[in-house]
Amino acid sequence: MDISCSSTVSQDVTQHVNIQQKQICFLKMPNETKAITDILNDPTSTPHAVAQAGEGIFLTMYQAPPSECDLNNHRYNSFVKSSTKIKANFASLPSTKGAAKQHSIRVHLKTQQCLDNDSLNPEHWGSL
């Protein structure tokens, strides 16, 4: 494994795990999240499946209720909730669905490259 690759992935994950000063323990995530990470780690996953799995991870990280399945809806609900406070913190809003999609696809490609899986064409995993 390439050291720079490992370091980049580690920094990327650390930045997104530390949400609102809370460390999320991925070991305590529900079984559905295990299925999501399996999709993200599978080199044969499609970009669409990776994007959906990534959205699920973002919903979990931002502590969306189990009934919520759309990141943009959760972002809107978080915005409404935050805007009613005296001191709103809009920086803590969840990412948009599009940003989560791009991030997930980029991380999937980088992870596969770090695992020496060169079967993915970066041109197909760039901007979708």
Could you say which DSSP state residue 66 is in?
T
Q: How many Å apart are CA 48 and CA 87, to the nearest integer?
A: 38
Residue 10 scores a pLDDT above 50: no
What contacts 12, CB < 8 A, 6 or more positions away?
107, 110
Could you give the count of Cα atoms lying within 13 Å of 33 in the half-sphere of its Cβ? 14
Average pLDDT over residues 17-27: 41
Domain borders along the chain are 3-114
Could you say which DSSP state residue 123 is in?
T
| pTM of structure | 0.69
Percent of the chain with pLDDT over 70: 72
- Closest among 52, 50, 53 to 105, alpha carbons compared: 50
pLDDT tens digits along 67-109: 888 999 999 998 988 888 888 778 888 889 999 999 999 888 8
